[in-house]
Amino acid sequence: MAGGRVRIIAGRWRGRRLGVEDEPDVRPTPDRVRETLFNWLAPDLPGARCLDLFAGSGALGFESVSRGAAEAVLVDRSRAVCDRLRGECERLGAGYGSVTVVEADALDWLARPRAASTPFDIVFVDPPQRLEVHPEVALLLAEHGWLAPGARIWFEVVRRRETPDLPAGWTLLKSGRAGEVRYYLGAREAG
């Protein structure tokens, strides 16, 4: 593999390393930022159903299951990335529905009505830097029934961009910055 590796920080797969494709759009979330994110999500994570859009390395989805989420769905449009993610599932023993890999364009996948029986509790949105899709993703998630009441949504953006717009009924809970990366955690109003 020409790419690098990213490690899972905590939980049952702590210290395990995930391969990363050598593609310009695959930019893993740094360890320090992931540690902050999962500290913020700690009360919401046990048993949660997670969605990792623009999955890339899959670090956010795998880390969530490693730390107690019931399930993570990883969506990426690259066949090479999805093949690698499926290989990581097998290597980690992440079968039986705990990690599912979907090869699809994230926006196209979200634009259709939700097929899963249970909506998502936590959504990770870390698109390639060239894409500015945060408002569109938030709207698609809300409009097509992908979100559980009180769902959490994580956005990661390049520092020079402004805070992502969230649709009505969303609240910005926390934000932070590490180097060139800004990150935000929002919540959908319950009910």
Tell me, what's the pLDDT at 56? 87
pTM of this prediction?
0.89
Q: What is the dihedral of CA 89, 93, 99, 102, to 10 degrees?
A: 30
CATH topology of domain 5-188: Rossmann fold (3.40.50)
Confidence of residue 1 (pLDDT cuts 50, 70, 90): very low
What per-residue string of b and e applies to 92-127 under the rule 16 or more CB within 10 Å gives b?
A: bebeeebbbbbbeebbebbeeeeeeeebbbbbbbbb
* Domain boundaries along the sequence of the chain: 5-188
DSSP code, position 93: T
Copy the structure tokens of residue 92. 């980690």
Query: Coil, helix or strand for 159?
Result: coil
Task: Decide which of 177 and 122 is more confident.
Answer: 122
Alpha carbon 105 to its chain centroid, in Å, reads: 14
CB 118 within 8 A of CB 47: no
The 10s digit of each residue's pLDDT in 142-151 is 888 898 989 9
Element (H, E) at 88: helix 79-92
Cβ atoms of residues 140 and 171 within 8 Å: no
Determine which of 47-51, 73-77, 130-134, 142-146 has the lowest per-residue pLDDT on average.
130-134
Backbone phi, psi, residue 109, to 5° = -65, -40
User: Residue 157: enclosing H or E segment and its boundaries?
Assistant: strand 147-158
